[in-house]
Amino acid sequence: MKAAVLREVRTPLQIEDVQINKPGPHEVLIRTVAAGVCHSDLHFVEGSYPYPLPAVLGHESAGVVEQVGSEVRTVKPGDHVITCLSAFCGHCDQCLTGHMSLCVSPETRRGKEEEPRLLQAPGNMNQFLNLSSFAEQMLIHEHACVAIRKDMPLDRAALIGCSVTTGVGAVIHTSNVRPGETVAVIGCGGVGLAAINGASIAGAGRIIAIDMIGSKLNLAKNFGATDVVDASQGDPVAQVMEMTGGGVHHSFEAIGLKTTTEQAFRMLRRGGTANVIGMIPVGTKIELHGPDFLQEKRIQGSLMGSNRFPVDMPRFVDFYMSGKLKLDDLISRRIKLNQVNEALAELKTGELARSVIVFDA
């Protein structure tokens, strides 16, 4: 099969022929239909986060089940599925207490003594985040995908696999936004727009979108933002504090920078919660002011929206089909696999929401 391979950090992905194995007992072979190009992929390309190389990148995808292993009970050939990087075992303490996105059980991956899922002679080929979706096929654990209704367009379904689950989940699960509360979202890329959309679905009373690019702020209004703040025109914290008369109940940092993370904390009202969704580079230290903690302000991370994806993703599909979830506007353009490096380069400019690789294009 054709796949986009990262061989060295800070170098373009190479389109190569990669072999894919047959499904083991709990594994599923999927024909990839669509894969979003996410900023998280770019972090690994640029070396902000280390990963064993070479690897087939990609982690936001949807496709059609081709084969299943002998013990698979959750999907069957012909099912349309969305994948999720937070594969779960189903019986560790994290899973059994409802924190499936925090599962790190090794049994969702092949052991060192087993033949790897991806092969290329000579040498090894690493699977990326349990998925490797920049490829014509994926071989994954059955608990890394969920079947969805077949009338859902798969190019839009792919976005639910990461950006939507991360952004909407951070709002409804990690921070538990309640109707009428105030929300600020810093960064209006794919994840930030999903968080804005999630806040609208959750019934937030005021949703403030913050970015430095006017086109993204305009787009944020389509996703439910009631107010916008252009961070290039002055201190966004001061603007939010003035707008709200003392700060927001919930803030969401969707970029992954030291400065914006600190801003997210500073724009809280008393008792507010700052949620860090963005991937802050390894080694970065965040500075917070001690007296703020006496006002019961909190800051916390959010991993893939604290998801329970087998339940969440079909519901998000229903939200889209009923017009509540705005996926059409998240897709800036549809591309072929050999255009993946162009899409990664565009992420650096911050102009586009999401490019989606469509494999029959």
How much is the average pLDDT of 17-42?
A: 96
Residue 144 lies in a domain: yes
Shared-domain flag, residues 120 and 202 = no
Beta-strand pair 19-20/333-335: unpaired
Shared-domain flag, residues 43 and 6 = yes
Shared-domain flag, residues 17 and 128 = yes
Shared-domain flag, residues 144 and 27 = yes
Residue 259 lies in a domain: yes
Shared-domain flag, residues 13 and 122 = yes
Residue 316 lies in a domain: no
CATH number for the domain harbouring residue 286:
3.40.50.720
Residue 352 pLDDT: 63
Residue 58 pLDDT: 97
The answer, yes or no, to whether residue 86 has pLDDT greater than 70, is yes
Residue 197 lies in a domain: yes
The answer, yes or no, to whether residue 210 has pLDDT greater than 70, is yes
Shared-domain flag, residues 213 and 283 = yes
Residue 272 lies in a domain: yes
| pLDDT tens, residue by residue, 305-355 | 999 999 999 999 999 999 999 999 889 899 999 999 999 998 887 666 689
Burial code of 82-97, b = ≥16 C-beta within 10 A, e = fewer?
Answer: bbbbbbbbeebebbee
Shared-domain flag, residues 132 and 175 = no
How much is the average pLDDT of 141-159?
A: 98
Shared-domain flag, residues 103 and 205 = no
Residue 185 lies in a domain: yes
Q: Which residues are catalytic?
A: 38, 40, 43, 59, 162
Q: What total of structural domains would you count in the chain?
A: 2
CATH number for the domain harbouring residue 36:
3.90.180.10
The answer, yes or no, to whether residue 268 has pLDDT greater than 80, is yes
Q: What is the 3-state secondary structure (H, E, C) of the chain?
A: CEEEEECCCCCCCEEEECEECCCCCCEEEEEEEEEEECHHHHHHHCCCCCCCCCEECCCCEEEEEEEECCCCCCCCCCCEEEECCCCCCCCCHHHHCCCHHHCCCHHHCCCCCCCCCEECCCCECEECCCCCCCECEEEEEHHHEEEECCCCCHHHHHHHHHHHHHHHHHHHHHCCCCCCCEEEEECCCHHHHHHHHHHHHHCCCEEEEEECCHHHHHHHHHCCCCEEEEHHHCCHHHHHHHHHCCCEEEEEECCCCHHHHHHHHHCEEEEEEEEECCCCCCCCCCCCCHHHHHHCCEEEECCHHHCCHHHHHHHHHHHHHCCCCCCHHHCCEEECHHHHHHHHHHHHHCCCCCEEEECCC
Distance (Å, whole) CA 78 – CA 43: 34
pTM assigned to the model: 0.94
> Which residues, 6+ apart, have CB-to-CB distance to 149 below 8 Å?
80, 314, 317, 318, 321
How much is the average pLDDT of 141-151?
A: 98
Residue 280 pLDDT: 93
Residue 244 lies in a domain: yes
Shared-domain flag, residues 222 and 132 = no
> What is the domain extent for residue 129?
2-148+331-358
145-154, 250-259, 342-351: least confident range: 342-351
Domain boundary among 262, 287, 302: 302
How much is the average pLDDT of 43-50?
A: 92
% of the chain at pLDDT higher than 70: 99
Decide: residue 114, CB within 10 A, 0-12 exposed, 13-18 middle, 19+ buried. exposed
Shared-domain flag, residues 221 and 350 = no
Shared-domain flag, residues 261 and 201 = yes
Residue 264 lies in a domain: yes
Shared-domain flag, residues 194 and 261 = yes
